[in-house]
Amino acid sequence: MTKENGRVAMVTGANGAIGLGICQGLAEHGLEVVMVCRNAEKARQAARAVEQAVAGARLRTETVDVSRKAEVFAFAGRFAGRLDVLVNNAAIAPRRRSETPEGIELEFATNVLGYAWMMQAFAQALAASAPARIVNVASYWAGDLDLDDVQFKQRDYNNDTAYRQSKQCDRMLTVAFAKQLSPAGITVNACHPGDVHSTLSHSLGYGGHETPAQGADTPVWLATDAQVASVTGKYFAARRQQSCEFARDEHAIARLVAICAGL
């Protein structure tokens, strides 16, 4: 394993099962890891877990709710230093529909807008450290996007449908941001991490059977491996590039980008 001393990675949803596995994997590669969580105490607990697992791990914790645009951009405004890797991983699947204080449906705000806002807010920091990488943790469990009702104001809310929609959006946004950020030397790729045993998988009703380390394998590989250093705008599972039907609909991608910008 190649150690990447001096490089810095940021991971959202760092205290969840997959996020914790990603943080540990990146720390094992020698990257300093900025662990972004909504809850400060859970962030501290997650950091202690990584420190116990990885001798000499270099960690920072930040308390940020990525479903709140103001918090994301305030965080970016106070962030200092290099940033080589951004891993968008934070995701939820609440069983009842709710809204942020800004009136945005919470699952869309977290799983979709959170990814878009983080990529926008940290594009300058990533460009300053280029070549840099963004990894969007998406899923094979994707579909059901309704561009006329992304917030389930007309449809009956179902967390499984909302989750599938959000992961389709993440794969589509990956294509859009890959094109936008390529001139700055930033690659953007998405991946399916596997069916990990986690709070989120239980919320969706299937439980998951893979370990956090197994779920972290492909995201960490995309964040660190030389063979994918110049690959961008693609979707991966089990370290292999996969065909993505959502990447081919340029009109739908443009509509989604406009919806996100409007929110």
Q: What is the DSSP letter of 184?
A: G
pLDDT given at position 11: 98
pLDDT given at position 1: 55
Short-list 16, 156, 195, 142, CA closest to 88: 16
203: three-class secondary structure by DSSP: helix
| pLDDT over 60 at 73, yes or no | yes
Task: Spell out the domains of the chain, with CATH numbers in brackets.
Answer: 8-262 (3.40.50.720)
Concatenated DSSP letters of 81-105: S---EEEE------SS--B-TTS-B
pLDDT given at position 199: 72
For residues 215 and 197, what is the distance between their CA atoms, to the nearest angstrom? 9
pLDDT given at position 208: 73
From residue 27, give the alpha-carbon distance in Å to each of 6, 71, 91.
12, 26, 22
User: In the predicted model, what is the mean pLDDT of residues 29-48?
Assistant: 98
| pLDDT over 80 at 4, yes or no | no
* Adjacent-strand bridge partners of 241: 236
Concatenated DSSP letters of 112-161: IIHHHHHHHHTHHHHHHT-SEEEEEE--SS-----TT-TT-SSSPP-HHH
pLDDT given at position 209: 75
Bridging pattern class, strands 186-192 and 132-137: parallel
Alpha carbon 231 to its chain centroid, in Å, reads: 18
| pLDDT over 80 at 46, yes or no | yes
pLDDT given at position 229: 98
Query: Sheet of 85-88: strands edge to edge?
Result: 59-63, 32-37, 8-12, 85-88, 132-137, 186-192, 235-237, 240-242
Concatenated DSSP letters of 12-77: ESTTSHHHHHHHHHHHHTT-EEEEEES-HHHHHHHHHHHHHHSTT--EEEEE--TT-HHHHHHHHH
Mean pLDDT of the chain: 95
Taking only the tens place, the pLDDT of each residue in 205-254 is 666 778 999 999 999 999 999 999 999 999 999 999 999 999 999 999 99
pLDDT given at position 97: 98
236: three-class secondary structure by DSSP: strand
pLDDT given at position 197: 59
What are the phi and psi torsion angles at 78 (to 5°)? -95, -5
For residues 71 and 25, what is the distance between their CA atoms, to the nearest angstrom? 27
User: In the predicted model, what is the mean pLDDT of residues 101-130?
Assistant: 98
Q: Which tokens is 27 given?
A: 């720390």
User: In the predicted model, what is the mean pLDDT of residues 156-176?
Assistant: 97
User: In the predicted model, what is the mean pLDDT of residues 100-111?
Assistant: 98
